[in-house]
């Protein structure tokens, strides 16, 4: 009988908390060095860093992705045609298509729920 192999140990993954602690320690050391050089320079540095971090945070959240474009339902009959009428009733969208080869026929699609604001 052969010896069983021990499972290989997986390397530990570094945690985000450990990285945050390292950044806090490095930032605190830098702030202490600036304060040791001059109290005024330390206060101004903290203000500048705070304003820059606030600006980055606002800039990141103030420009959300553009809203998705309205996709019209399509099938074999109405593919490539623009809807003649779009109606919203009771939280649903109704797309009406007038087909060029069938002028007396209206093709209707019912879309799911609509979030009306």
* Beta-carbon count within 10 A of 96 CB: 14
Q: Report pLDDT for 47.
A: 96
What would the pLDDT profile of 58-96 be if each residue is shown by its tens digit? Answer: 888 776 665 555 566 667 666 666 667 777 777 677 777
Distance CA(115)–CA(99), nearest Å, equals: 29
Structure tokens, 101:
């080869």
Summarize the confidence of residues 98-113 as an average pLDDT.
67
The pTM of this model reads 0.41
Q: Are 111 and 93 in contact (CB under 8 A)?
A: yes
In this predicted model, what pLDDT tens digit does every residue of 12-43 receive, in sequence order? Answer: 777 888 888 999 999 999 999 999 999 999 99
If you average pLDDT over residues 5-9, what whole number do you get?
A: 67
Q: What is the mean pLDDT of the chain?
A: 76
* Domain locations along the chain: 16-62, 69-117
Q: For residue 117, what pLDDT is reported?
A: 45
Number of helices followed by number of strands (H, E) in the chain: 2, 3
């Amino acid at each position: 009988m052969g010896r069983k192999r021990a499972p290989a140990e997986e390397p530990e993954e570094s945690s985000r908390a450990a990285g945050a602690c390292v950044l806090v320690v490095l930032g605190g050391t830098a702030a202490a060095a600036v304060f040791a050089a001059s109290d005024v320079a330390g206060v101004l540095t903290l203000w500048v860093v705070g304003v820059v971090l606030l600006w980055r945070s606002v800039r990141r959240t103030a420009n959300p992705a553009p809203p998705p474009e309205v996709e019209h339902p399509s099938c074999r009959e109405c593919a490539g045609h623009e809807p003649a009428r779009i109606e919203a009733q009771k939280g649903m969208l109704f797309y009406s298509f007038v087909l060029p080869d069938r002028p007396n026929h209206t093709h209707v699609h019912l879309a799911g729920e609509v979030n009306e604001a």
